[in-house]
Structure 1
Amino acid sequence: MQIGLIGAGNMASALARGIGEPALVADVDAVRAEALAGELGGEAVGSNAELAERSDVVVLCHKPKQLAEVAEQVAGRAKAVVSILAATDTASLEAAYPAVPVYRFIPNIPAEVRQGVLCYVPGRLAQDGPEDEILELFGRAGAIIPLASEPLIEPAMALMSCGPAFMALVAESFAEAGAAHGLAPDEALRMTVETMAGTAAYLREHEYDTAAVKVRVATPGGTTERGLITLEQQGLRDVCRSAVDAVVEATR
Structure 2
Amino acid sequence: MASKVTFIGAGNMAGAIIGGMIESGFAPQDITATAPSDDFLAPLRERLGIRTDTDNDAAVAQSDVVVLAVKPQIMREVCEKMRDAVQARRPLIVSVAAGLPAETLEHWLGGDLPLVRCMPNTPALVGAGAAGLYANAKVDEAQRRLATELMEAVGLVEWVEEEALLDAVTAVSGSAPAYFFLMFEAMEEAGVKLGLPADTARRLAMQTALGAAKMALASDKPPAELKRNVMSPGGTTERAISHLEDAGLRRIMEEAMTACADRAGEMAEELGKR
1:241 is aligned to 254
1:176 is the counterpart of 2:189: yes
Contact 2:17/2:150 (CA < 8 Å) preserved in 1? no
Cα displacement (A) at 1:226: 0.3
* Percentage identity across paired residues of the two chains: 31
Distance in 2 of aligned mates of 1:190 and 1:34:
35
Matched residues, number: 252
1:73 is the counterpart of 2:81: yes
Distance in 2 of aligned mates of 1:128 and 1:148:
14
Q: If the length of structure 1 is used for normalisation, what is the TM-score?
A: 0.91
Contact 1:64/1:85 (CA < 8 Å) preserved in 2? yes
Listed one character per residue, the Cα deviations across residues 34-59 of structure 1 (whole Å, up to 9, x for unaligned) are 22333322132021101112322110
Which residue among 179, 197, 212 is the counterpart of 2:225? 212
Cα displacement (A) at 1:11: 2.7
- Across the aligned residues of Structure 1 and Structure 2, the Cα RMSD in angstroms comes to 2.0
1:165 is aligned to 178
Match of 2:98, SS state, is coil
The one-letter code of the counterpart of 1:176 is E
Which residue among 16, 19, 23 is the counterpart of 1:17? 19
Distance in 2 of aligned mates of 1:68 and 1:227:
50
State the 4+ residue runs in structure 1 displaced beyond 4 angstroms.
none
Distance in 2 of aligned mates of 1:148 and 1:111:
22
Distance in 2 of aligned mates of 1:177 and 1:208:
30
Q: If the length of structure 2 is used for normalisation, what is the TM-score?
A: 0.84
1:115 is the counterpart of 2:128: yes
Match of 1:33, SS state, is helix
The one-letter code of the counterpart of 2:20 is G
Match of 2:33, SS state, is strand
The one-letter code of the counterpart of 2:10 is A
Distance in 2 of aligned mates of 1:154 and 1:221:
40
Distance in 1 of aligned mates of 2:63 and 2:48:
15
Where in structure 2 are the equivalents of 1:79-228 lying within 5 Å? 79-97=91-109, 98-127=111-140, 130-207=143-220, 209-228=222-241
Tell me whether 223-232 or 94-103 shows the greater mean CA deviation: 94-103
Distance in 1 of aligned mates of 2:160 and 2:148:
14
1:57 is the counterpart of 2:59: no
Contact 1:15/1:107 (CA < 8 Å) preserved in 2? no
Cα displacement (A) at 1:220: 1.1
Listed one character per residue, the Cα deviations across residues 114-138 of structure 1 (whole Å, up to 9, x for unaligned) are 2111101012111076332232232
Unaligned runs of 5+ in 2: 267-274
Which residue among 32, 38, 51 is the counterpart of 1:30? 38
Distance in 1 of aligned mates of 2:236 and 2:167:
37
Match of 1:99, SS state, is coil
Listed one character per residue, the Cα deviations across residues 158-207 of structure 1 (whole Å, up to 9, x for unaligned) are 22111111111111211221222222222211111111111111111223
Contact 2:230/2:237 (CA < 8 Å) preserved in 1? yes
